[in-house]
Chain A
Amino acid sequence: GAVVSQHPSWVICKSGTSVKIECRSLDFQATTMFWYRQFPKQSLMLMATSNEGSKATYEQGVEKDKFLINHASLTLSTLTVTSAHPEDSSFYICSATLWTSGDYNEQFFGPGTRLTVL
């Protein structure tokens, strides 16, 4: 099956620093990747849709200057949390989508990245 990796799996940083999270589709090409944020005991909140070679589309309320997304190739998307603050601490999950011959989206999820900002 399709595999999506994320790196790092966890990161601790100081307030004010920037953190980059990588999302890779290992055995398929994904024209579209998604970034989600998940708070404890809650569902996934879609942050942005990332398409290869174009600017990301952010959901309402997500600061695009704070959460920089780059989708440089068909297998790699990165999320950079700039000037991180404690309220940015969360679990970030990426997914990559395949449009199947059955005319539906199938999403494959990465293992997530736990960000803690001190």
Chain B
Amino acid sequence: AQSVTQLGSHVSVSEGALVLLRCNYSSSVPPYLFWYVQYPNQGLQLLLKYTTGATLVKGINGFEAEFKKSETSFHLTKPSAHMSDAAEYFCAVSPPQAGTALIFGKGTTLSVSS
């Protein structure tokens, strides 16, 4: 069975500081991994995804994530936080079966202070 663990339900950074949101997964098969962002009262927007190929994945809004198989991790980073980055972030893994729902972590709330 697949699962996702997001360490830290709340992360606070200053504007301009490095953002690091942690995600670890459990999967018996090669995982497909996703990061989504959710702004208040909105749906989920895909930030980036890892399927195959390069393990460092670049996404929208300056975010990137690195797939590390040895550490079963897929941490999300951004070199310099912006106030507009304040939101809820979800890591997810895709089961290998067609038509099955993504498995989400519990989410991490990112706060950015000026």
- B63 touches A (CB below 8 Å): no
- A-B pair count, CB < 8 Å, reads 62
What band does the interface of chain B fall in when counting residues whose beta carbon is under 8 Å from A?
A: 20 to 34
Proximity string of chain B (44-69) to chain A, C-beta cutoff 8 Å, 1 when within and 0 when not: 11100101100000000000000000
Q: Given the complex, which residues of A lie within 8 Å of B45, measured CB to CB?
A: 109
Whether B90 and A91, one on each chain, are in contact in the complex, defined by CB atoms closer than 8 angstroms, is no
Chief secondary structure at chain A's binding surface:
strand
- A72 touches B (CB below 8 Å): no
Q: How far is the CA of A110 from the CA of B44 in the complex (A)?
A: 7
What band does the interface of chain A fall in when counting residues whose beta carbon is under 8 Å from B?
A: 20 to 34
Whether A104 and B42, one on each chain, are in contact in the complex, defined by CB atoms closer than 8 angstroms, is no
Whether A112 and B41, one on each chain, are in contact in the complex, defined by CB atoms closer than 8 angstroms, is yes
Task: List A residues at the B interface (Cβ < 8 Å).
Answer: 4, 6, 31-32, 34, 41-44, 46, 49, 51, 91, 93, 95, 97, 99, 102-112, 114
